[in-house]
Amino acid sequence: LRAKLDQIPALKEAEATTKVPKEFLVLAACALLLVLLFFGIGAGALCSIVGFVYPAYKSFEAIESKNRGDDTQWLIYWVVY
């Protein structure tokens, strides 16, 4: 786990700043996310991110690529959504 976390520069900075191991920072963030979702806090924002922001990002990415298959996939997504 530590080897994977060493590849993320933001975690290196957070560990150096807080003097808390990366593993604990990731576990605390996951626990906080689970608690917030369990109590319904932020559920609307999560739905917006999963249902709109991510597809919008992937759609722009697909438009910029040369592949036509991904354009069709995301166009179908937006027509159905």
Residue-by-residue pLDDT tens, the chain, 81 positions:
788 888 999 999 999 999 999 999 999 999 998 898 888 888 888 888 888 888 999 999 999 988 888 888 988 988 887
pLDDT for 45 = 82
pTM, two decimal places: 0.55
User: What pLDDT score does 3 carry?
Assistant: 87
pLDDT at residue 57 in the model? 92
* 41-75 residues labelled b (16+ CB within 10 A) or e (exposed): eeeeeeeeeeeeeebeeebeebeeeeeeeeeeebe
Q: Is-contact 49 29, C-beta < 8 A?
A: no
